[in-house]
Structure 1
């Protein structure tokens, strides 16, 4: 059971209203009344940003069902506050709550570009596309102020290093020239996540993420600049957003997306109770139906973490959703896969006084 909402906090545009303890915490905190009838001063819960200076910025993975082996995450936590976000449990590693802490206590890595240049310069480094936005969104609201991404993109362009991005943050258009520069060299691809075209539902589920129409404008802007764009229909939530699969694919195709993918709803660890709590608050009449359908796609559980199953689901429900998606993708003329990114030109940027190559 999740702890009750803190009555002293006034929430504005937050995905959850509770702060459950992380799974590694040895103790649980429980609010108890002191029996005084004096009301406490209520305060608006604001986002706090702290800074981290890690020793490296490229994260490696060996997961058999992930298409990339390295990624960069300039931020921990995400102010978008998407209630279903599979990254919420990572805040437990910081001793923070995957609930409200995840969307209000953000950690930024301001020296990311410097660290990246240092790692790319190591003698043993071998290039492969670096994925960004795979955990938390690098273009979440705080990026408009901290501007960590332009430095990262400039380093990647200088070194002719390919990169991919998954985002729903409109600040990506601020860096359109940098993404277009990489794309012109065959070294960039961007995925824009669209969960629903219903602005009201999006505002409730993803309170600080751009509205669906804004994300379609992002696709138009990126596509017009020559950046290959994938629309990511993710997550597909049974009952709530599943009926929109075809409509989302149609709108994104008209906006310029050339490839498409989908992922059924994932509810790992602390995300499941948070999502159930959200359903009871925002869609109480549909809560049981939604969760029954989710479990039908996840082997009778809220989540199936097995490699090869977590991104696809299993059973008739998942198979039918995938079939609908594939038929709509083919009918709308989407490409089956994106163009491979070019790693052949990777190398250190020229320095003043360097002899130019004859070829």
Structure 2
């Protein structure tokens, strides 16, 4: 599907998408007629810039149960919906369609914060019959995206998890994680936290076009180093691997991450579910026109002729000769660099309700 043309009344700065295609559940379609603007008064320059908006959501529950056999966890927390990093390939973009918004520009400019998340989480952890297991945060949108600086939802969630001795695995590429080193390092000392840092490319210019508001590759490696020095187990995630565009960097990324202090590594193939396929193809034609056809052809070869194969066991790795080659290269590189082991197991045995005022404390803890 061809994307609609950019809105001529809007000026974009550091955005991944250029258009707002309708979500797949919409019954009506919006079309922009560029010629219609010729008879209109020009929009003042200071009003044309598309800015980030944040709305507040008050959810009834915050722990999401998942059952995918591709994943190593069964519950997640999402402090935010949408992500200002604006990574054009983000597989989470289609989630905005459920909210009646576009997976395009809306996903990176119309964000939703959940400030009550820590309070709701504490209530859910305290329910009779709750069974502890590691919770994953950042598997959908980044919990340390820029709006966390103001809303501090993730820090509140971390504090609750720390108070309850609840294990957590965090995925991010945001610098704000360094703000929470006090909580994270304390939790790491109790075996309660892992962090995964995703690195797509070491090419700063490519990263700026593809991930316009995410930290630079060098800055992400600096985060790995900071976390490692604080005693926090870190996994580098070469994700997503984009065949024909970033796949040649796999070994270099892994080497740089090992030098920064990462203890383990993983990789995930580019995923283009639903509307993301058109958004990414459009970006390729604009940003990498000479490589666009090669990238999409190679990706389709790894997904059985489709832009994306959603089947469990295939969606994150692909299949065929090129997918097998990537897996083989990864195994050799991590073995050589000492990144082929697992991070220390998270400790579920410490989980308990934190003491309240007036409680009788144990003499043996």
Task: Please give the range of the TM-score, normalised by the shorter of the 2 chains.
Answer: over 0.9
Partner of 1:86: 91
1:1-359 matches, cutoff 5 A: 1-32=2-33, 33-34=35-36, 36-41=38-43, 42=45, 43-359=48-364
Q: Using the alignment, how far apart are the partners of 1:276 and 1:193 within structure 2?
A: 22
Alpha-carbon distance in structure 1 between the residues aligned to 2:314 and 2:102: 27
Moved more, 92-101 or 142-151: 142-151
Contact 2:302–2:320 under 8 Å retained in 1: yes
Aligned-residue offset at 1:336 = 2.1
- Alpha-carbon separation, structure 2, partners of 1:122 and 1:247: 47
Paired with 1:346 and 1:148, the residues of 2 have a C-alpha distance of 22
Q: CA deviation at 1:49?
A: 0.2
Inter-partner Cα distance in structure 2 for 1:38 and 1:175: 49
Distance 1:35 1:202 in 2: 33
Distance of 1:48 and 1:329 partners within structure 2: 41
Displacement of 1:143:
0.5
Gaps of 5+ in 2: none
TM-score (norm 2): 0.97
Report which stretch shifted further, 92-101 or 58-67. 58-67
Structure 1 runs of 4+ aligned residues shifted over 4 Å read none
Q: Distance in 2 between matches of 1:304 and 1:111?
A: 36
Equivalent-residue separation in structure 2 for 1:55 and 1:136 (angstroms):
19
Using the TM superposition, name which of 173-182 and 29-38 deviates more: 29-38
The superposition leaves residues 284-310 of structure 1 with CA deviations (integer Å, 9 ceiling, x where unpaired) of 011001111111111111000001111
Check whether the contact 2:78–2:143 (CA below 8 A) recurs between aligned residues: yes
Give the 3 Å change call, closer, same or farther, for CA 36–248 of structure 1 in structure 2: closer
- Shift, 1:358, TM fit: 3.2
Q: TM-score, normalised by structure 1?
A: 0.98
- Aligned-residue offset at 1:36: 4.5
Task: State the superposition RMSD in angstroms.
Answer: 1.0
- Aligned-partner SS, 2:225: helix
1:205-250 deviation per Cα after TM superposition (whole angstroms, max 9, x unaligned): 0000000011011001101111000000000001111010000000
Find the aligned partners of 2:266 and 2:359 in 1 and give their Cα distance: 44
CA distance in 2, matches of 1:258, 1:336: 8
Q: CA deviation at 1:125?
A: 0.4
Instruction: Structure 1: give runs of 5+ residues left out of the alignment.
Output: none
CA distance in 2: counterparts of 1:271 and 1:95, whole angstroms: 16
| 199-208 or 26-35: bigger deviation | 26-35
Give the secondary-structure state (helix, strand or coil) at the position aligned to 2:266: strand
SS in 2 for 1:22: coil
Whole-angstrom distance in 2 between the partners of 1:302 and 1:335: 30
Q: Are 2:331 and 2:340, in contact at CA under 8 Å, matched by a contact in 1?
A: no
Q: CA deviation at 1:352?
A: 2.3
Q: CA deviation at 1:84?
A: 0.4
Q: How many residues align?
A: 359
1:100-119 CA distances to partner (integer Å, 9 max, x unpaired)? Answer: 00000000000110000000
